Amino acid sequence: MTTTAESTSPLVPVDTWWPLLRSDQLKRRPIGLERLGLQLVAWRNSRGEAQLHQRFCPHRRADLGQGEVKGEHLICRFHGFAFDGTGQCRLMPCEGSEARIPPGMTIGRYPCREAQGFVWFWSGSAASMPAEVPYLPALAGLPPIPGADKELEWAMPIERAAEQLLDMHHTPFTHPLVWLSATSKRNTRVVYEDLHLEGDHWRGTPRFEPDGGGGKPFRLPHQLLFPNQALLAFGHGVYLYATLTPIDRNRSIGWVRYLLRAPFPKLLSALSNWFEARFVQPEDLAVLLANQPSRGGLQHQCLVKADTFVAHWHQRWSHLVPGAYDEAH
Ligand code: FES
Ligand SMILES: [Fe+2]
């Protein structure tokens, strides 16, 4: 019998995909995770397929992330109870192999899939889970470099962290070091070209240009797969893919992955990821952690034209996640 855990999270819309961890992190040992306000354990069966279950053992609530995998079973470290991929307990060593296993001795199973170098959680029923995790179409032609991603944990709600996927016009001010390479002008205005906001796939190209004319404009084609996958094209074959997931109501985790059409792409991608994490993200964090109220949202922010993606995101999110912007919980 298959036991299905409640596979939705109150923190995110139903029927959406969320990356949990990188595929290459999930090896032979199970991993306990806190994501989407849920306690999860991820492991691989003997065929190498990712499995996702409730994290705490139904016997005496041990963390199954401390256990081990033997064949088709996830074994609890505390008393060795063995659970199969459906979540059913198959052996309680202390009771003997003939013992009747109580009906409640199960770990709920969550739907998941592996794609793009991540294990993804489906926030919806297994029956409604699509065959594939949606992919930003522009990624199709780029070299996948799983394993070179940089993982970043942020002490801010998903509602604020997501703005990082949507806001390009902070760059000249928050990241002057990076911006110098594009143009030294800081009085830069931003105009969106080719804006498409239909459905879940949004596209636009912010054109940065010195206010009042003169100088060369700089374009940064930008795409989003609502709610949590973004791709930036810096030009010269350099792309930045980013995705994120709530850990709980007040913390988020994200991954950045530079994709390069260049010699030694893996090495250059790893260097770029490192630079991003070492120099760029701390600048973002310094600003974002001080923003009040911490969840942002439409009623607390006076948005302007350049914030079009931000506004659109919050509009959809507030419809899909009731109470998302309530400060007290
Ligand atoms: S707590 Fe898991 S087997 Fe006892
Ligand atoms: Fe930034």
Segment 86-111 shows an average pLDDT of: 97
- CA-to-CA distance for 41 and 24, rounded, in angstroms? 15
Q: What is the pLDDT of residues 200-241, one digit of tens each?
A: 999 999 998 888 777 788 899 999 999 999 999 988 888 899
> b/e per residue, 191-218, with b = 16+ CB within 10 A?
ebeeeebeeebbbbbbbbbbeeeeeeeb
Q: Within 10 A of 296 (CB to CB), how many other CB atoms are there?
A: 22
Residue 178's nearest CA partner among 287, 279, 306 is 279
Strands 201-210 and 188-196 come out as antiparallel
Q: Chain-centre distance of CA 106, in angstroms?
A: 28
Which band of pLDDT confidence, cut at 50, 70 and 90, is reported for residue 276? confident
- Binding pocket residue ranges, ligand 1, CB within 6 Å: 57, 59-60, 62, 76, 78-79, 81
Whole-number Å distance, alpha carbon 206 to ligand 2 midpoint, is 15
CATH 3.20.20.70 fits 16-128, yes or no: no
Q: Where in the chain is the domain with CATH 3.90.380.10?
A: 138-320
- CA-to-CA distance for 173 and 287, rounded, in angstroms? 11
Q: What is the pLDDT of residues 140-184, one digit of tens each?
A: 777 666 666 788 899 999 999 999 999 999 988 898 877 765 555
What ranges in the chain are assigned the alpha helix state H? 158-161, 171-174, 176-179, 265-275, 281-288, 308-320
**43 pLDDT more than 90:** yes
Q: Which ligand is nearest to the CA of 163?
A: 2
CATH 3.10.20.440 fits 138-320, yes or no: no
- Which strand (E) or helix (H) includes residue 181? none
- CA-to-CA distance for 254 and 245, rounded, in angstroms? 6
Strands 73-75 and 68-70 come out as antiparallel
Kindly report the protein residue whose alpha carbon is nearest to atom 3 of ligand 1. 79
Q: Which 8-state DSSP code applies to residue 142?
A: S
**Which is more confident, 4 or 16?**
16
The helix/strand/coil state of 317 is helix
Peptide bond between residue 227 and the one before it cis (omega within 30 degrees of 0): yes
Tokens matching residue 51:
């499995």
* Residues contacting 65, CB < 8 A, separation 6+: 30, 31, 32, 33, 41, 55
What is the value of pTM for the model shown?
A: 0.93
Kindly report the protein residue whose alpha carbon is nearest to atom 1 of ligand 1. 60
Q: Which residues surround ligand 2, an ion (CB under 5 A)?
A: 284
From 53, 57, 70, mutation site for ligand 1 pocket: most ligand atoms within 8 A of C-beta: 57
Q: What is the pLDDT of residues 131-140, one digit of tens each?
A: 999 988 777 7
Q: Where in the chain is the domain with CATH 2.102.10.10?
A: 16-128
